Structure 1
Amino acid sequence: GHFRDNREIAEIMADVQSTLLDLREIKSNDKEIMYLSDQVQNANTLFLQCINKLNALPKPADEGTMFVGSMLDGFFGNFLGSYHRGLDAEAKQNALNVELQSAIAAVDQLEAALLLLPKVAEKYSATLSDSTGRIVVDFNESWGYSGPNDWLVLQNRGETLKDCTILVQLTGASGKVRKNVHFLETWPSNSSMWGRYQSGEEVLGRTVEKTTVTQVQELDITIYSPQFATQIQYVYQGAEKDKDIAQICKDLSFQGAYQPYESGVIWDTQRGAQITLNGVSYIPKCRVDVAFRKGEQSKGWHWNHDSWMKGETKSFNTPKGGLTFDPDRVDFEVSFPNTNYKYKSTLTVDLKSGK
């Protein structure tokens, strides 16, 4: 893939300039290319000035403090590094914040300029054609222990593409849209481009480095190059998301025991079940439906949990007088918001031991 983490600022800026040089070679007198180049150059200069000032300022005495430039992504639009507020002298912190705000503004300017890239690329691109058999799309949304990032994989099964601009538009459940622009000088045949999209971090009262949306519904992907161009609409919410969650949960398992009724001096222990999560490190917010059955008799309840950790045992106790028979089996089903995937299992109860 073409994704690399923890890249140096200079390397990323060099990639941006290289992209613009490639465009200028295509059409050196194109006014839009010249404007885009100037905008990016100005933003780059401002951004690097801010970083130099940040590095020169006295830092709060906190070993956990990290500054712009320590963790940068490799794709356009992700030019702001991680930032964690220090706990030391307010004057020092304020000076850092002033420069950081300028750096954020420079990144905003740079990102806005780079969103013009697809418009320029379209002018020198091949005519749009069918992607069937040439481009394969796969998207995986962050879920459970598979987080914290969303991932897009585009596989080029056709010819090698040169000066390839890729516009990816993600649409969330609320209708919010995020556009990310990627540029590949060369996209070899039978190779994949990996895009990492993240939910961002809170810095100075705003979210930065946010390159995805909440609950991705669909992706609209446009690829421009002189050799080939196409548009792809990829619906994620539904079958594709269900398939991904099923894959994440393929090792999911539970261990359970029936809790019989026990009369007590102060209070009674009601019938129920004790169920322990195994197989995966944890599962997110879920609903658990438990049905106690014996012959034709059946009684069920459901419980909601915010999360469930591996090795954690949860109690599913029925209300007083709610379950009047000892079951010979217990069916339980685990379901999750925004997906049709469900995990189902049956616990057989040994009536002799009551377990």
Structure 2
Amino acid sequence: MEISQHLRAILSFVETAEAGSFSQAAKKLGVSAAAVSKNVANLEQVLGVRLMNRTTRKISLTEEGTTFLSQARVALDALESAVDSLAVGKMETSGHVRISTSAAFGRNQLLPVLPGLLTRYPALSVEVDFDDRVTDLVNDGYDIAIRGGRIVDSSLISRPVCHLNLALIASPEYLSQYGTPKSPVDLAQHKLIARRFLGGKVNPWGFKAKDGSLSSFEPASPVLTLSAPEALVESARAGLGIAQVGLHQALKYFEDGSLKALLTEQHDAGSYELVIQYPHRALIAPRVKVTVEYLLAAFRQDKSLHFPIAELNKYEYKANE
């Protein structure tokens, strides 16, 4: 099979896999359904494996087909990016960039830096989805995802932004009324605000002993359970109890005095990180590349994302304040 035939066969396979039918793939490619079916059959013959199971009702991928689809997408993306790279020297960087990020980070960190991005690259357009669920970057059609947590998806390129440190917080008014916990054991006597992830799991609080060992504490019988991290911050500021939140979400309220840090020497800040992710490609499209690089540079200037955890104790509550 010649290179041009290889490319036609691979395109026929990818479009059929994504559309779920030969006829829909044929419409997109501008050829007949019979030609698409023949191209896929020829590809299977060359590879020596069945890529698709066909029935009168539907088409489904075999295990080998699923693996090949992933590899084929990388190859086609590389070809598309190669064309973009040749064109970038002839025209202004342009195009549409789709970004997925969490609601809180999107509002507080991403939105403030987008005007600068669009001023520098006026031919860009940006679409942002605020969604706290983990999205499938490739299948959902996103160019970039900004994610925080324990990052494990090795099929994507991950560019580190910062460590995401956690802190225990409460308002001065709450602590004045109910007292200040001196150890994790004291938390059982306090009003606690828990965070429940969208999957249903309650986020535990971590603590470290003098010998370096770590323990986990799950807020028992919390006075309030919330899913949105910014809601935890506002509830703590309202004096409803003690919460665990990202340090970057609380820093400005530490600075204005409406929140205080607790148990800074004993609380474990966690091992979470914030990254910008995009699909693995041999060549990244210029519109995506400039967006990623701009955001990385902008986030490096955000002091709330890079505040040293060792300095958190200066915001700890003192009863005589």
Higher strand share: 1
Instruction: Give the number of the structure whose alpha-carbon radius of gyration is greater.
Output: 1
TM-score, reference length from structure 2: 0.32
Higher helix share: 2
Structure scoring higher RCO (CA < 8 A, sep ≥ 6) equals 2
TM-score, reference length from structure 1: 0.30
